[in-house]
Structure 1
Amino acid sequence: MRRLNLDQLHTFSEVVDAGSFSAAAARLDLSQPAVSLQVRQLEQRLSVRLIERVGKRLKPTSAGLTLLDHARRIDAVVEDAMHALSSHASGDVGEVAIGTGATACIHLLPPILRAMRKRHPMLDIRVSTGNTDDVVAAVSENRLDIGLVTLPTAGRSLHVTPVLCDAFVAIAPARDAQWVQEITPHWLAAAPMVAFEPGSSTRLLIDEWFLQAGLRVRPVMALGSIEAIKEMVAAGLGYSIVPRLSVNAAHHRRGLRVCALTPALTRTLAIVVRQDKPLTPGLRKVMSALEALGDAA
C-alpha cells in the first residue's frame, strides 16, 4: 500500500470536525473543490468509503471512524516532530565539535562555553585538544566541525578566519631579581629554557624568534602542557616563553615574573572550517562567539 498523504489525512479530519466540505475549506483556506478532491483521492488510495452524506449531513463511515482515530494520533506525532525540529532550526539543539590547542582551551574557551551553555543549554558543544596540524587534519576530514588554531596553516579545502592576535612574554621565577622588563634573545641565550614540545606551532614560532637573532636554543625540558611549563618555571627550573593570555589572570602570575620580549613576538589565532561545511544554526552561533574574541581582546 502506498504511504498516506498527510495533507489529505488532515483535510479528512477537518471535514469530519467541521461537518461539511465548505466549512473545512474555510478553515483550511482552500476552495471547496480542492477539499473534496483531497478526500476523494484519500478514499481511492485506501479503497474504502470514508464519508457518507445522509440528507444534508456528513458523517464518517465505520472505516472513516477507524481512520479518524489514527489520524488524530498521527497529527499529534507530527506536531511533536515539528516542535522538536524547530529547536534544531533555531540552533538551540544540536552538536558542534571544536578542536583547539591546550592554551586556548584553558584560557579562552571557558567563558565562551559558559555563556553558550547558559543561552543554549541543549546545544552540545564538544571540545578536544591537539596541535595545529592535528586539529586542521581533523577539520579537513570532517571529524571536527571547527578548529581554533595558531597560524600559519594551510589547506585548499579550508576557510581560515583570523580572530585574535596574542603577544608572547617571557616568564621567570618571581624571586629571580636579575630579570629585566624587556627580554632579548641574546639575554636569554645562556639561561635554561622550559619549552613547548617540538613540532607545535607555538614552539616553531619561538624557535624562529631565536633564529632571527642567529641563535639556536636547547631547552632543558620540552612539555606539552602550558600549566606544567608554568609550574616548572615557578619552581625555579628555568624560564619560558608563553602566550600572554596564559598569564593574564593574577592567580596565574603567582610565583612568576612576566616580562615583555624585544623584539616583540606575536601569534595569530584563527578559525578553520571546511569551505563546503554545511553551517547549521548551532555551528553559526559557535563561530560568531569565536569571531568575537578579537572584539573582546
Structure 2
Amino acid sequence: MRGFNLDQLQAFADVVDLGSFSAAAARQNLSQPAISQQVKLLETRLGVRLIERIGKRAMPTPAGQALRAHIGPIDRAIRNALDAVAPFGNGVKGQVRVGCGATACIYFLPAVLAGIQRDYPDLDISVKTGNTGDMIRLIENNELDIGFVTLPLASRALEITPVMKDPFLAIFAADHSVQGPVSPDEMAEMPLVLFEQGSNTRTLVDAWLRKAGRRVHPVMELGSVEAIKELVGAGLGASILPSMAVIDGRSNLPVRGRPLEPAMGRDLAIVMRRDKTLTQGLRVVRDGIIAAANSDLGQNNP
C-alpha cells in the first residue's frame, strides 16, 4: 500500500472513462496539467505506461486496462471502510450519494435536500439522475448509497421500501377545452409528446395507452419533463406526466392537468443495499425523504 495515492488512481480512472484529460479535469474541478501530473506520477510509481493517445482520445494501454479493472473494487473497499467507522464519529458528516429520476430531482428532492443541508452543513450530499435500471446498477455496485426511484424493480441485493404514490395527469395547453377525466381513447386521438422510451414512467404510460386497443405513435419523444411541458404549453400536443411535475409557475407557457380514467400512477421507493451500513448521514437522508413523501410536499396533486 505504501506509495499509492488514491487521487492518482481516481485521476487515471476518470481519464480512461471520459477519454480525455480535459474532461477528467472538469469532473474533478482541477486544471488539466494537474490531472496529467497525477497520471504521470502513477505511471512512474508503477513503471509502466497507462495512457496513450489514439486520435483525439486518451485510451488505456493494456497495462492501463488491467489497472482500471481493479479500481472499482478498490473504491468500494474504501467506501465500505469509511461506512464502517462513520457510526463512531461525532455529528452528522461524511458523504451520501443519492440516485433518482429526473422528475423527482427537479420537483421533489431540492426542498428535501435543502432542509437537510441547512440542518447538517457538514454532510456532503451528491445527486445523480437516470432511469431506474441505471440507478439500481449503481446502487448494487455501491457507487450510490441510496436511490429514490420508480417501481417496479427486482433485486435480491436491495432493500426496497415504497414511500410515495404519484398519480399521473393528462396535460394540455392552458386554452384546451378538455373537461373532466381523460380516457385512453381520447388521448390516442391527440398528437402526443411523451417521455423517451427506456424509463419506468414511459412503460407505465404506454401500458395505459394500450387500453385504447391500438398502438400509439408519439409525434415527439423527449428526455426532459420541462421540454415536454413547454411544447404542450405551446399547443403542439398533449402529454401524460407525473403529478409532481405539473406545478403552477414552473413553465413560461402554462399547462392544465386533468385526471386519467382509469386512474394511473407510479409508486416511488427508497432502495439501498441490504448490507449497507446505515451511517448517521445516510439515516438523515433516508428519513428526510420519507418524511417529505408523507407530508404535503409529497402529496402534490394540482
Structure-to-structure mapping, 1:59-208, within 5 angstroms:
89-177=89-177, 179-208=178-207
* Contact 2:87-2:280 at 8 Å conserved across structures: no
- 1:8 alignment counterpart: none
TM-score, structure 1 length as denominator? Answer: 0.68
Gaps of 5+ in 1: 1-84
Query: Residues 108-144 of structure 1: CA distance to partner in whole angstroms, max 9, x if unpaired?
Result: 0011111011100010000010000000110011110
Q: Distance in 2 between matches of 1:256 and 1:102?
A: 19
Aligned-residue offset at 1:92: 1.9
Long gaps (5+) in structure 2: 1-84
Q: Partner of 1:222 in structure 2?
A: 221
- SS of 1:149's partner is strand
Q: Which amino acid aligns with 1:144?
A: L
Separation in 1, partners of 2:257, 2:106: 19
Aligned pairs, how many?
Answer: 212
What does residue 46 of structure 2 align with? Answer: none
The amino acid of 1:277's aligned partner reads K
Partner secondary structure for residue 183 of structure 1:
coil
Larger Rg: 1
Q: Which residue of 2 aligns with 1:234?
A: 233
Taking the aligned partners of 2:252 and 2:172, their CA distance within structure 1 comes to: 10
Distance 1:230 1:91, change over 3 A: farther
For residue 263 of structure 1, give the secondary structure of its aligned residue in structure 2.
coil
Q: For 2:105 and 2:255, how far apart are their aligned partners in 1?
A: 21
- Would the aligned equivalents of 1:150 and 1:268 in 2 still touch at CA under 8 Å? yes
Query: Secondary structure at 2:118's aligned position in 1?
Result: helix
User: Partner letter of residue 106 of structure 1?
Assistant: I
RMSD of the TM alignment (CA)? 1.8
Instruction: Look up the SS of the partner of 1:182 in the other structure.
Output: coil
Q: Distance in 2 between matches of 1:144 and 1:274?
A: 10
SS of match in other structure, 1:293: helix
For the residues of structure 2 that align with 1:161 and 1:130, how far apart are their CA atoms? 19
**2: CA distance, partners of 1:246 / 1:124:** 26
Task: Determine the C-alpha separation between the residues in 2 that align with 1:188 and 1:245.
Answer: 20
For the 8 Å contact 2:188–2:212, the answer to whether it is kept is no
Partner residue in 2 for 1:248: 247
Give, in whole Å, the separation in 1 of the partners of 2:250 and 2:230: 12
CA distance in 2, matches of 1:130, 1:232: 22
- Asked if the contact 2:226/2:251 (under 8 Å) is kept, the reply is no
**Corresponding letter in the other structure for 1:101:** G
- Structure 2: distance between partners of 1:211 and 1:189: 9
TM-score by length of 2: 0.67
Cα distance in 1 for residues equivalent to 2:163 and 2:91: 22
Tell me if structure 2 keeps the 8 A contact 1:89–1:281.
Answer: no
Percent of aligned pairs sharing the same letter: 47
**How far off its partner does 1:248 sit?**
3.1
Task: Tell me which residue corresponds to 1:46.
Answer: none
Q: Within 1, Cα distance between the matches of 2:96 and 2:86?
A: 17
